Amino acid sequence: MKIILVFKVVAVITMMSAVFSTTAFAQNIPNGNLIMMLSCNLEDGGTMQEAIEFRRNQPRDATAPGQVYYRVPAIAGNFVEDYDFMVALY
């Protein structure tokens, strides 16, 4: 009986660590073939939604990146003083 209880506790801890470790990586940019990373500014009066819509409307061909990520800084710093957002092309 004691061995079964220890087994159940170990199984629950293992499952919980697997679930929490995968959710911790949900916000990361994927590792892999990074093509280009750009720091960008919006035009006066421009919004992030307009920048994303502009990119979506661009024609795509065989050399277009497979994934495009837009990142807006959450904490002010030197980056915020010079740029509005960052684009990562994969």
pLDDT digits (tens, 9 = 90+) for 21-42: 544 444 565 666 777 888 889 9
For residue 28 the two structure tokens come to 């990361």
Distance CA(82)–CA(64), nearest Å, equals 27
Residue 29, number of CB atoms within 10 A of its CB: 13
**How far apart (Å, rounded) are the C-alpha atoms in residues 61 and 1?**
63
**pLDDT number for residue 6:** 47
Q: Is residue 59 within 8 Å of 40, Cβ to Cβ?
A: no
Task: Calculate mean pLDDT across residues 11-15.
Answer: 55
What was the pLDDT predicted at 13? 58
Helices (H), the chain: 2-24, 48-56, 78-82
